[in-house]
Chains A and B, each alone.
Chain A
Amino acid sequence: MRHQMRCGPAKPAAVRPAARSPRVACRFSREEQLKFISHLDIIRTIERAIRRAAVPVAYTQGHNPRAKLSFASALGIGVTSEAELMVIELDHILPPDEVKQRVNEQVPAGLEVIEAWAVPAYRGRYRLGDIDTAEYEMEVAGPIPEFVEDSAGQLIASPTYVITRETDKTSKQVDLRSLVSRVEVVEHGPDHAVVRATARTGSQGGARPDEILQALGIDLDRCQVSVHRTALRASGGVRAAARTAKGQ
Chain B
Amino acid sequence: MRRGECCGRDPALWYDVLPRVTRPGRYTNREWNAIHKEHAGVRLRVALAYPDTYELGMSHLGLRILYHLLNERDDTVAERVYAPWTDMEEALRARGLLLTTLESATPLRAFDIVGFTLPYELLYTNVLNMLDLGGIPVLAAERTTDDPVVIAGGPCACNPEPLTDFIDAFVLGDGEEVIGEIAEAVMETGRGDRQHLLQRLSEIEGVYVPGFYDVTYAPDGIVAEITARDNAPTSVRSRVVADLDRAYYPTQQIVPYLETVHDRVTLEVMRGCARGCRFCQAGVTYRPVRKRSVDTLLEQARRTLAATGHDEVSLMAFSSADYPDIEELAERLIDEHGDKRVNVSLPSLRMDTFSVRLAERVQRVRRATLTFAPEAATARLREVINKQATDEDLFAAASAAFQSGWNGLKLYFMIGLPTETDDDAAAIGDLLRRLVAFGRRELGTRRGRLRINASVTPFVPKPHTPFQWTAQASTEDLDRHRRLICGEATGKAIHLSWRSPEQSLLEATFALGDRRLGTVVGAAWEAGARFDAWDEMFDFQRWKQAFAACGLDPSFYAHRARGLDERLPWDHLSYGQSKEWLTREIERARGAGGEVA
Contacts and interface: CB of A to CB of B under 8 A. Distances in A.
Interface in A194-248: 224-226
B16 interface: yes
B5 A32 contact: yes
Interface string A31-44: 11110111011101
Contacts of B340: 51
A64 interface: yes
Interface in B351-409: 360-362, 364-366
Interface string B15-43: 11011000011011011100000000000
B364 A63 contact: yes
A123 interface: no
Nearest to B367: A64
Interface stretch (A14-22, A104-112, A173-181): A104-112
Interface in B109-141: none
B334 A2 contact: yes
Given A36-B18, A225-B19, A1 B361 contact: yes
Contact of B1 (A2, A6, A32, A139): A32
B307 interface: yes
A38 B25 contact: yes
B19 A78 contact: yes
Contact of A48 (B2, B6, B30, B308): B308
Interface in A94-138: 106, 108-110
Contacts of B308: 48, 52
A17 B24 CA distance: 45
A69 to B, nearest CB: 13
B32 A108 contact: yes
Interface string B54-90: 0000000000000000000000000000000000000
Interface in B329-366: 334, 338-341, 360-362, 364-366
Given A48-B309, A108-B32, A41 B259 contact: yes
A201 B257 CA distance: 24
B19 A6 contact: no
Contacts of A78: 18-19, 24
Contacts of A40: 259
Contacts of A108: 30-32
Given A45-B257, A63-B366, A77-B24, A52 B7 contact: no
B257 A41 contact: yes
A50 B340 CA distance: 12
B360 A110 contact: no
Given A1-B360, A59-B341, A108-B31, A32 B311 contact: no
Which of B30, B31, B306 counts the most A-chain CB atoms under 10 A from its CB? B30
B31 A52 contact: no
Contacts of A45: 32, 255, 257
A47 interface: yes
A86 to B, nearest CB: 16
B30 A109 contact: yes
B258 interface: yes
Contacts of A32: 1-3, 5-7
Contact of A36 (B5, B28, B360): B28
A65 B32 contact: no
A159 B535 CA distance: 49
A31 B5 CA distance: 11
A65 B360 CA distance: 17
A3 interface: yes
Contacts of B562: none
B310 interface: yes
Contacts of B257: 34, 37, 41-42, 44-45
Contacts of B19: 36, 77-78, 225
A63 B3 contact: no
A49 interface: yes
B5 A63 contact: no
B341 A36 contact: no
A174 B18 CA distance: 27
Nearest to A45: B257
A224 B309 contact: no
Interface string B301-317: 00000111111000000
B32 A44 contact: no
Interface in A148-206: none
Given A45-B257, A48-B255, A110-B1, A33 B306 contact: no
A33 B30 contact: yes
Contacts of A31: 1
A48 B7 contact: no
Contacts of B307: 52
Contacts of A42: 257
Contacts of B3: 32, 139, 226
A99 to B, nearest CB: 16
Given A1-B361, A2-B361, A32-B2, A52 B309 contact: yes
Contacts of A64: 364-366
B178 to A, nearest CB: 33
A51 B311 contact: yes
B265 to A, nearest CB: 11
Contacts of A38: 25
B190 to A, nearest CB: 35
A110 B30 contact: yes
A3 B2 contact: no
B400 to A, nearest CB: 14
Contacts of A6: 338-339
**List of 4 A-B pairs having minimum Cβ-Cβ separation, nearest first:** A48-B309, A224-B15, A51-B309, A36-B24
Given A3-B364, A51-B310, 6 more contacts: A33-B7, A48-B310, A50-B309, A59-B341, A63-B366, A77-B19
22 contacts: A3-B338, A32-B1, A32-B2, A32-B6, A32-B7, A33-B7, A33-B28, A33-B30, A36-B28, A37-B28, A37-B257, A38-B25, A41-B258, A44-B257, A45-B257, A47-B309, A48-B310, A52-B308, A59-B341, A64-B365, A106-B32, A226-B15
